[in-house]
Structure formats: C-alpha cells, structure tokens
Amino acid sequence: MNVFFDKGNLAIVAKIVGSEIKSFDELGLPSILHNIVNKKNGLVIVSGPVDSGKSTTLASIIESINKRRESVIISIENPIEYIYTSKNSLICQRDVGLDTLSFSDAIRSTLRQDADIVLMGEMRDLDSISQAITAAEEGQLVFSTLHTTSTIECINRLIDIFPVEQQMQIRIQLATCLECIVCQYLLPRADGKGRVLATEVLMFTPAIRNLIRKARTEQIYSYLESGAEFGMHTMDSSLMDLFRRGLITKDTAGAFVTKKEVFGFL
C-alpha cells in the first residue's frame, strides 16, 4: 500500500497480492524457465515496467525450486508479498526495514548464512547490484528484478550504473555470471477478462557473453531473434503469437512491437 495526501485529503493505492503461487503454465511463462531452476549458480533477472508481474514470476520460480530441490533459499524483499511454506527447500524471508537494514547488507550476509539461492526483490542501486553480482560469482544462484523495458536495456543498465573506470571489469563479470534475462509485460486481453503475459527471453550463450565482454551489446538483438534453439525469443515474436491466438488486439500489439513496419502495424 501507498498512502499520500491529495489536495489535503488522504489517498491510498493498494495492490492485491494473491495467496496462491501459480505455476509456470498457469502464468504463461516460457518453458525454458524449467531449465533455469536447475542452475547451481549465476544471475537471473526478471525485468519489465512497474506492475508487469515481476514479483509473481519470481514467486513461481522460487516455488518451483521449493518443490523440486533441497536448497537453502533466502528471500530479501521490500515488502514481503508472497508467503512461502518450506517443502523440499528451507526458505527464509527477510523484510528490508524490519529484518535487515538494506538489500545490500542482507545479500552480503547470505554468504555467511549457507544460502544456495538468493531472491533479491529489486536491484535498486550500485551497491545492491554489485553485491548481487558478487554473490552469483561466489557460487549462489541469484534472482532479482530490474525496471527496464527490454533484455538488452537491462544489460546496459547494469553496466551504466557503474563509474566509467569500472565498466570494463563489470562487463567481464556479467559475461561470466549472467544466465538469463526475462523481460515481461502484462497486456489487456482481447476479451476484456484480465491480462495476459508477453515475454522476451535472453539466454547467455558463449557468443552473447563474448559480445558483452567486447562492449558490442547492440549486436545481441540479432542473436536474440535467431536463438530459438536455446530457448530465446523477442518481445515482438511473443506479441505476434498472442495476436495470432486472439489473446490481444491488433492495437495492443501495435503499441508495443519495436519493428512496426515488419509486422504491418504502420
């Protein structure tokens, strides 16, 4: 909830969080994520604008791990949204401001808390991003979110937040530890009954890691377009699939595609 004053009167914005954690199939998440939950280490990021379902996606991923693996999972959130019940994994949930002072302090501590997997609700600043990268490099599987509108923009944001003199080193570190970036939007359904998920998935193959090291991120999109065998797809292809299936309208698809001339949305 967020409470504020509007012309001297109290106003409230409230977000409803469901108690049920839905599966990948129920949410319409890409099937490649079934492979991601088996990773032992690395950094996985879910990006997208505000209110695009990033927390719900992360909750589904953590619950899938909880059912399938014996792991110690530490979740660092502000605020805690979904409540987990430990199954095959042991899950500890820490609320920033109540259980810890900051994201960066909490993720730094996970290295001493026997954590196999870390969920950091949001990478907000240079310090928290730096700590997430360090944790991934030191053998933990780290999940987090970032407010960007494409997978490639996500990479650029991670690099650009650092001082220029550090960016070459950060490129090398990201090329080593990044495993997957999922960018997502929640779009109105054509039938008016709720929203449907559109996604872009970037998997980090040796070729893409090499482009990051060489500061050639502008070339990644062509690999993203042709990377179906690795589980990759662009946001444009996801939008076109949803449109062809009648799940979103032409106007909705046209508002979000990047190559409008290719898809006839001029």
DSSP string of 199-246, one letter each residue: EEEEE--HHHHHHHHTT-GGGHHHHHHT-GGGT-B-HHHHHHHHHHTT
Paired residues of 111 in beta bridges: none
Domain boundaries, the chain: 32-263
Q: Give the residue from 198, 137, 131, 118 showing the smallest Cα distance to 158.
A: 131
**Do residues 27 and 56 lie in contact, with contact meaning Cβ atoms separated by under 8 Å?**
yes
- Give me the pLDDT at residue 83, please: 94
Q: What is the C-alpha R_g of the chain?
A: 19
Q: What is the pLDDT along the chain (266 residues), one digit of tens a residue?
A: 899 999 999 999 998 888 899 999 999 999 999 999 899 999 999 999 988 999 999 999 999 999 999 999 999 999 899 999 999 999 999 999 999 998 888 998 998 899 999 999 888 889 999 999 999 999 999 999 999 999 999 999 999 999 999 999 999 999 999 999 999 999 999 999 999 999 999 999 999 999 999 999 999 999 999 999 999 999 999 999 999 999 999 999 988 988 877 666 54
b (16+ CB within 10 A) / e for 27-39: bbbbebbeebbee
Select 32-263's CATH number: 3.20.20.220, 3.40.50.2300, 3.40.50.300, 3.30.497.10. 3.40.50.300
Whole-model pTM? 0.92
- Give me the pLDDT at residue 180, please: 97
Q: Say how many C-beta atoms besides its own lie within 10 A of residue 202's C-beta.
A: 29
Helix, strand, or coil (residue 128)? helix
Across the chain, where does the E strand assignment appear?
A: 2-6, 9-13, 42-47, 72-77, 90-95, 117-120, 141-146, 178-188, 195-203
